Amino acid sequence: MNNNENPNLKLLILGEPLSIHTIRWVKQLLDTGWDIRLFCPLPPKWSVWADGRWEKVLHKLSREIAPISLLWVESNFFYKLLEKRRTHLGFLTPFFQWVEPYFDRLLGMLWKKKLMETLQHFQPDVVHSLGINQNWRNLCQPMLEQKRNGNLTAPWVYSSWGTDLTFYHGLSPQNKMEVEAVIRSVDFYISESNHDREMAIQYGMPQDRFLGVLPAFGGVHLEKHDQFRTPGPVSERTGLYIKGRGTEDPVGRAMVIMDAIEKLHDILSGYTIYIGAASLSIAQKALEVREKYGLNIIVLPYIEEPEDVLRYVGMSRLFISITINDGLPASLVEAMALGAFPIFSNLPSIGEWITHGENGFLAEVDDTEKLAEYIRQALQDDKLVNRADEINRKIIRERLEYRLVRNKVVAMYQRFAH
């Protein structure tokens, strides 16, 4: 811990504890000596409870981020009930489906009570909400309610993530009203991009509340990433990594990538194509293309350890991701750090990091022909991908290096210390 860091700062972080972004953000604060609590302000979805892995994962994360406290509502009753449903009481499934809304309401009340108790007993110096939209739920709504009821006396900081401001509100007029209410109510605001900052101002945020642009997942350890890089120039790699989010995800458009891959089957026979985070439609399409053209396509299973993804990206010449909305994707930053030439959607936030034709390509989400052209060029132009690797490593080192970002985050929090 640095001598100038205040060990008496009490920080309440509100975020989804199963999100790797949340865990990475929290981990950068482990050695500050501060009293930090992490709490998800909304209960997990019923499907997560029924999975039976919720508490096991939480206990694993508790060990991973210790000494930071991970708070949650004790769930033994629900856990045991659901375990019995899965193993012995399958015949009662219609009954459980009938009572599900009542369980959800009860869980919501328990979580609200836990949040109120945490604010009253912990009395944090600052409260920090990580993202509004996580799994298409408004995680800021419970804290907004607490502030309106006068239960929040500490400064409230909000970090916008990904689709928070530019897409989530479009799902319904009510969602837009709630997002705008959060922006107007928070005391301080952090964004992933300058574009989101401008959006927040449009929603009514006073400019003097802006604390700066910071990645939602913290900084990048270039030295640690280097162990996942295949030795030698990027141009010698024979892998392609595709982010496989189809339209099952509201912003996913990976089918455009698969259509482009199909058009390029004649030059892809020597490559291994990895498809990560594949939606069902994309996995099915990948199998069809593999069978039809004999391409070496591997649909990666669910990967529990994030570092395992880095191994595939580090073997890849290209990283391709097409979505209709995003902030600063961790996948983009990891591709840049690992040398994979990024081909991403032409979105304002991504354009703040990628200069088209220099250190990556920016593709329109509905132009398969152009995307195929970009992929072909990146496969054939060795100088382009090798030079992009140099540029991207320089960008990471100067703007997103771990210690640089971590020091900015610590300095940001220190302003709230007494």
The pLDDT of residue 52: 59
pLDDT at 270 over 90: yes
Structure tokens that stand for 383 in this block:
């100088």
Q: Enumerate the domain spans of the chain.
A: 10-219+402-414, 222-400
**120, containing H or E segment:** helix 93-122
- Which CATH superfamily hosts domain 10-219+402-414? Glycogen Phosphorylase B; (3.40.50.2000)
Average pLDDT over residues 334-356: 97
* 26-35, 97-106, 349-358, 394-403: range with lowest mean pLDDT: 97-106
Q: State pLDDT tens for residues 361-408.
A: 999 999 999 999 999 999 999 999 999 999 999 999 999 999 999 999
How many Å apart are CA 191 and CA 211, to the nearest integer?
Answer: 8
Largest CA distance in the chain: 66
What single-letter amino acid sits at 44? P
The pLDDT of residue 96: 62
Return the DSSP state at 204. T
Contact 229, 314 (CB under 8 A): yes
* 138-142, 348-352, 366-370: range with lowest mean pLDDT: 138-142
How many Å apart are CA 369 and CA 73, to the nearest integer?
Answer: 51
**311, containing H or E segment:** helix 306-314
Average pLDDT over residues 223-235: 95
What are the strands, taking DSSP E only, across 114-174? 126-130, 133-134, 137-138, 156-159
- Same fold flag, 10-219+402-414 and 222-400: yes
Confidence of residue 76 (pLDDT cuts 50, 70, 90): low
Average pLDDT over residues 203-229: 93
Confidence of residue 266 (pLDDT cuts 50, 70, 90): very high
pTM above 0.75, yes or no: yes
* 70-79, 109-118, 131-140: range with lowest mean pLDDT: 70-79
- Which CATH superfamily hosts domain 222-400? Glycogen Phosphorylase B; (3.40.50.2000)
The pLDDT of residue 121: 94
